[in-house]
Amino acid sequence: MTTLTTTPLAPLLDRLFAEAEEAKAGIDAAVADLSDEEQARLMRSKTEYRDLYGRLKRAPLAVSRETGALLYMLARSSGARTIVEFGTSFGVSTLHLTAALRDNGGGRLITTEFESSKVARARENLTAGGLVELVELREGDALETLEADLPESIDLLLLDGAKALYPDVLALVEDRLRPSALVVADDADVSPEYLARVRSPAEGYLSTPFGEDVELSMRLG
């Protein structure tokens, strides 16, 4: 038995994944006035991400069921006790990672989100899942909220916020990643700068694309 597959978390995740599926039409509507080129430009922008995610503040934008299961398994099998997450949204990935912390015997997850309505939804979901006491929700831009007060040693980092900021957020957390720490980046193909960095052993990582949209990397050292 695991926290992930039992009540209250399993039925909660069923509901959240169903809601995420239903909300997909709303994502298209929220950016319908932007051309494909403009959408691609905003996705890659290091300065206009607030505008893009402001339009998407009602959308869950959750990781897929497969990625959620992968996150649980990676955190669980590596015995993670300290996790940092960039991009909370309604907390679907947070629930998977925190379930692994609980099953590993406890720990701490720091997650960050700048849309306050999403922070409130994530807190509600983490409370409903019985996991909120393991989570520190930092409201604000990750470039500020992850600048200080990080754990001495971090076992796993999930990057799932504005894609263009992946290299910058990695740089904030990098010194704290323990040897063999895992870094999971969702939709990392949007940031060639990030991929170039983690795919270079000279930069201190071993990295591979995994599944449909995940880049899985390990800190060397």
Give contact residues for ligand SAM (rule: CB under 6 A). Answer: 49, 53, 61-63, 87, 89-93, 112-115, 118, 141-143, 160-162, 165
**Residue 182 CB, nearest distance to ligand SAM (Å)?**
16
Written as one letter, the residue type at 184 is: V
CB of 94: closest distance to ligand SAM in angstroms? 7
Output 177 or 214, the one with its CB closest to ligand SAM: 214
As measured in angstroms, the least distance from the Cβ of 138 to ligand SAM is 9
**Closest to ligand SAM by CB, 65 or 204:** 65
Least distance to ligand SAM, CB of residue 16, Å: 8
**Closer CB to ligand SAM, 63 or 177, in the complex:** 63
58 or 206, CB closer to ligand SAM?
58
